[in-house]
Amino acid sequence: MRVEIIMPKMGESIFEGTIIRWIKKVGEKVEKEETILEISTDKVDSEIPSPAQGILTKILIQEQQTVPVGTVIAYVETDLSAGSETAGHTEVVSAAKDFSEGSSASGSNILLHAQNQKQDRHRFYSPLVKMIAKKEGIELNALDKIAGSGSHGRVTKQDIVQYLKLRPETTKTYCIRAVDISELNKKYPEPKYCLVRMDNMQKKMAEHMVRSVSTSPHVTIIDEVDLTEIVKFRLSILQQFERQTNFKLTYMPFFAFAVVSALKEFSIVNSSLEGDVIIYKNFINLGLAVAAPNGLIVPVVRNAEEKDFISLAGSLTDVAVRARAKKLSPDDIVNGTFSITNYGIFGSIIGTPIINQPQAAILGLGAIKKRPMVLSDDAGNDVIDIRSMIYLTLTFDHRIIDGAIGGQCLSRIKWLLEHFNFQLVLK
């Protein structure tokens, strides 16, 4: 039986994917669930398993090509005696689970018939409309919101031109321009120069960062926090905690727990802005910046406000491990409401992070360093002591968060860390 492997639907807002690398070559045997290729979307890179055991008989879409969800990208022949890509019956099989439905990647759940694929495909856009959208940096989720005046509500050239006239300057996406490397080689020849084209994830990250800075007026405030008691406590319970939970206790859960508590008090820091409307959220989806092999990625711990310390620590460990193993789904990195980035892991003590749009703020963690500090003893006298200190940086959107609120929120995070309730850690 010949199995059609299709470009999988990797989330509700994902409409196309780019093939990064074919791990298996034509003629090679593949096992069921064995990784057969890597794909990249505008949200995440993913390893795609083979849905069936057999021989990879034909590759239809080559590396670095981008195709819509549902496109047939390869054939696997499950009848090993057939030896031909045209032999046997053809069945449509998804190469990966439909993450938007949360289905399993094994068994009958991975079967998707052609009719369902057709119903699942996104709104049709003409090549001209797609070209204009790409040139002007209009993302697909924004394109979907444009009212179409054409047949059956189809978006026309006039519709998208009118949209561009009315669109505020600050909402534009600044796309990375494609450049002819062969022409650049004339200006920057080897061996003094080496030209490498950005991969899909790097381009998307670059565009996201430029868009963030152009959208929000960034304000950054910095405070120093005494973590001496947390450092001592963590060292004292490392082995006990790991025996109890089966994962290691890092410093991140302490920061995350303090952040979640502070955001409950300062809800505007957990909000977002759309037009002139402030959107307050009654939940906290906490983003954690992780340095993964293919670049920085921000997986999300959902409903962090509902978790106790141990549950939050477990969730943070889970998303970080899966991010580094390239096992995240697109749904794992969307709908965050506030983010934490730990640049201190590389030794930096102070940084000024960029807001992860459409969030309103982000907290940066510097490296924990021992420093001599002037303290007051019980008698009110100044004394010098060696303390474990860290600089925390809060960057926020000054359109909706003023300096007073930002300062109060950061001060609250500082207080919660310096007066941490250690009874929450072990039960």
Report the alpha-carbon distance of residue 353 to residue 349 in Å, rounded. 13
Number of H helices, E strands in the chain: 10, 20
Asked if residues 238 and 426 have their Cβ atoms less than 8 Å apart, the reply is no
Is 152 assigned a catalytic role?
A: no
User: Which of 223, 332, 398, 419 is flagged as catalytic?
Assistant: 398
Asked if residues 212 and 380 have their Cβ atoms less than 8 Å apart, the reply is no
Q: What tokens were used for 295?
A: 């670049």
Asked if residues 356 and 339 have their Cβ atoms less than 8 Å apart, the reply is yes
**Radius of gyration for the alpha carbons in the chain, expressed in angstroms and rounded:** 25
Neighbours of 253 (CB within 10 A): 22
What DSSP string runs through 185-243? HHHS-TTT-------HHHHHHHHHHHHHHHHS-EEEEEEEEE-HHHHHHHHHHHHHHHH
- In total, the chain counts a number of residues equal to 427
Q: What tokens were used for 361?
A: 């703020």
Q: What tokens were used for 379?
A: 């008698």
Element containing residue 319 per DSSP (H, E): helix 309-324
Q: What tokens were used for 414?
A: 């500082």
Is 180 assigned a catalytic role?
A: no
Asked if residues 144 and 133 have their Cβ atoms less than 8 Å apart, the reply is no
User: Which of 218, 308, 402, 419 is flagged as catalytic?
Assistant: 402
CA-to-CA dists, residue 225 to 356, 371, 412, angstroms: 24, 12, 11
Question: Among candidates 254, 260, 256, 259, which has minimal Cα distance to 234?
Answer: 254
Neighbours of 275 (CB within 10 A): 7
DSSP 378: T
Helix 252-265 with 403-418: angle, nearest 10 deg? 130
Q: Residue 387 pairs with which residues in a beta bridge?
A: 371
The amino acid present at 189, given as its one-letter code, is: P
Residues labelled as active-site residues = 398, 402
